[in-house]
Chain A
């Protein structure tokens, strides 16, 4: 049964809005039940573990505690890479050391067993059941659109905690998004970092990280980049124009969430997946692909 506890994360309501509405569309289509954790709090992202070890563990621990009490027995689906990294780090820390667990329970004042597994949305859709449901619903094919699947660093690193086999070039997102008929190019920056955590407080240092992703995607023939995290998506989408302007590059690569492409393949309209909300215009490329493939809505 496709039934999971759901931890959306703070950016889902704001900068991750296109991710949220495409996930909701998708969930309805394939009967994926995402039970939001009631009264969840912020996972702390990169700031908490910069301030202190116990602050970084306390915030996700509270969410785990609520999920265990209110949604027992369900694994937790975490669409945002930063939240996934924080919840997973807390789960592993609590499982590995009883002493950490007791101190965390002291600090948060709630019991935390951390027995639920933490999954990314890709893990959920990548299951046999998930793939079958998506394949059945994705009737409209986006053939001809060459995309570069970008995982970002937090969904796959550190390998010691995520346990991903090939952390340099995983294949999970390719497997899922190709259900929508797109063609995935082979490129080299799948799990390289986009500098998301420093785009605001250290822009000059962080911008080149975004540029090099566009550069490698373009030189390997990608017409669009697909992400699976609100932070990566915002970062690439919002900075593309600025990079073209400031660094004299001419990238014309829209950035889509992999759920947006799946939703469109399942018949969603541009508005239903919020294409108009993108910083870098994303409608034209998709519209032309659909028209060429003769499957326009």
Chain B
């Protein structure tokens, strides 16, 4: 007969405040197999855990039920606790009487009754628990970082500095992401290039980092410690081993295409480097715009002019597979395509209505206007500038409901730069709230106002051109009166959205995204840089709108998580995996078919059957691959294969207990 101990947690007043914990403990005491039942203010505290240890010793308990918060919170805490007691850590069940009972039912009587039911179910289940021992999985100490913006670069550098090998993937032809597009960064106004280009060159030179630009993830298999990843490196048509980056081909190429890096403010050639400080500092050929590759014309002038013959039009995509122990997703953000969403702001037909990133390229010394703020339409210096915030953000109907977090700060930066670089300029900022939640952020906002930026509280309803001016129609809600501000140039601070192909990547990594496509972290507060899939971590804006300080902090955190994983030669696999009772298995391979990880295979075994020794097929589970989903257990008619920790017997008992 099992000797069960039941411990009901008050969780301060969270549980005790909503249901009668004493009655639950009393009811638990009377359940069959329960030797000891008690309740305590904080079961997860030091004293609470000591209470369990003492009770185990005193009453020779062999299995434990904790009625407390969700197992997702403290199942591991109590498992670790049991490690130094004679009770096996898996002889434990947790009844969730907080998130799914105390907090969600107003009626105290009903909540208490439900808590008693949940405890009875847990006790019935734990009666069927068996001691489980974990298996160990080897760890390949090599990391894959997807996305080489500041998040990816920082994560790769930290992992590499810890002495582990890193492969850094970037889908564009140069690393640097969005940060390298910026001119200055808040709140210290230090120049973005000065703090990001050194890191970029450090990445290129680091012995532990293999840099692969123009590359994306084709497929991901395996599991933590043993991800076999196929990477597709797009054809570059330029042999980077020979090329020295002299740039002669770029000067000769006839093709003219809008430059994505410069936010379509100017054009680039088909053989190009996105920006002068690009890393790798060697050009690639864009197949969609190269006349020879499209087959429009013979051309090939770059090949003819290249002194080292580095141009190779026959180059093909390369598919490289490798095994990685951990993966860091650092795919960053993109700005929302505001034009179709906001026809009232001109819908993109006014070239002087630009986005924040377009402004950054204008004010950037290596940008198309060498840092002089000239409005795109007639390249004149704009005197009256209007900045419109929350374009696409905080807009349930047209854009996204969330706040993009960084625009309040960089719009103050934009205002400051304009007032500093254009004497006599007038800057009006239409805002709803100015959110300055960081160190020295509020002071930075004060400076922008001191510089003379006029902050008008009210959302712009319409931007239209009249007599050569862009009229921004808003309401100063503090005065309660409508206002029309004429402007030479308007900067829209548009919403951040996840990178374009994030959903396909997440499907490959079996991690999920929220409705907008932001990668879902394991727990918003407790595990912000981890995902549901063990071994897959995340850093930066791919998880949600973020500014550079938070991004770099997360990159460091993700790198730390990877180093924790790599600090051990093997990791303890969860023991809650499937196991086969070979006597019952008739080899019908129903389980083999449903396993998502191909962790179950048929194997031939010697067996004694009626007429003597025979060979027959039975299912076998590969402990390393099995992730414990239980699809096989549900597909097996005879119950030969079962999921340890959630066996048929356990669940049947749990169902019966509910209905007593």
Contact = CB atoms under 8 A, between A and B. Distances in A.
Given A189-B464, A216-B466, A219-B467, A168 B349 contact: no
A216 B343 contact: no
A219 B466 contact: yes
B549 interface: no
A197 interface: no
A103 interface: no
Nearest to B345: A168
B347 interface: yes
Interface in A175-213: 186, 188-189
Contacts of A216: 464, 466
Contact of A215 (B343, B344, B349, B466): B466
A162 interface: no
A14 interface: no
A186 B465 CA distance: 11
A97 interface: no
Interface in A102-145: none
Chain A interface mostly helix, strand, loop or mixed? loop
Interface in B450-474: 462, 464-467
Contacts of A186: 349
Nearest to A187: B464
Contact of A168 (B347, B465, B467): B347
A180 to B, nearest CB: 24
Contacts of B467: 219
Interface string A211-228: 000011001100000000
A136 B464 CA distance: 36
A55 interface: no
A169 interface: yes
Nearest to A215: B466
Contacts of B347: 166, 168-169
A220 B343 contact: no
A86 to B, nearest CB: 25
B484 to A, nearest CB: 10
Contact of A220 (B344, B346, B462, B465): B465
A168 B466 contact: no
Contacts of A169: 343, 347
Contacts of B344: 168
Interface centre among B344, B346, B464, B467 (most CB of A within 10 A): B464
Nearest to A186: B349
Interface in B467-524: 467
Contacts of A219: 465-467
Contacts of B464: 188-189, 216
B466 to A, nearest CB: 5
Contacts of B462: 188
Interface in A11-60: none
Interface in A144-178: 166-169
B386 to A, nearest CB: 16
Nearest to A169: B343
Nearest to B462: A188
Nearest to A192: B462
A189 B465 CA distance: 10
A166 B343 contact: yes
Nearest to B346: A188
Contacts of A220: 465
Contacts of A215: 466
Interface in B308-348: 343-344, 346-347
A188 B484 CA distance: 15
Nearest to B350: A188
Contacts of A188: 346, 462, 464-466
Contacts of B465: 188, 219-220
A221 B149 CA distance: 47
Interface centre among B344, B462, B466, B467 (most CB of A within 10 A): B466
Interface in B618-637: none
Interface in A210-269: 215-216, 219-220
A168 B467 CA distance: 20
B402 to A, nearest CB: 23
Interface string B121-137: 00000000000000000
A167 B349 CA distance: 16
A190 to B, nearest CB: 10
A99 to B, nearest CB: 27
A168 B346 CA distance: 9
Contacts of B349: 186
A216 B467 CA distance: 8
Contacts of B466: 188, 215-216, 219
A282 B110 CA distance: 80
A158 B343 CA distance: 15
B399 to A, nearest CB: 15
A224 B541 CA distance: 51
A169 B345 CA distance: 11
B483 to A, nearest CB: 15
A215 B466 CA distance: 8
B360 to A, nearest CB: 27
B263 to A, nearest CB: 23
B347 to A, nearest CB: 7
A289 B466 CA distance: 26
Interface in B110-150: none
22 contacts: A166-B343, A166-B347, A167-B343, A168-B343, A168-B344, A168-B347, A169-B343, A169-B347, A186-B349, A188-B346, A188-B462, A188-B464, A188-B465, A188-B466, A189-B464, A215-B466, A216-B464, A216-B466, A219-B465, A219-B466, A219-B467, A220-B465
Given A188-B346, A219-B466, 8 more contacts: A166-B347, A168-B343, A168-B347, A188-B464, A188-B465, A189-B464, A219-B467, A220-B465
Minimum-distance CB pairs A-B, first 4: A168-B343, A188-B464, A219-B466, A168-B344
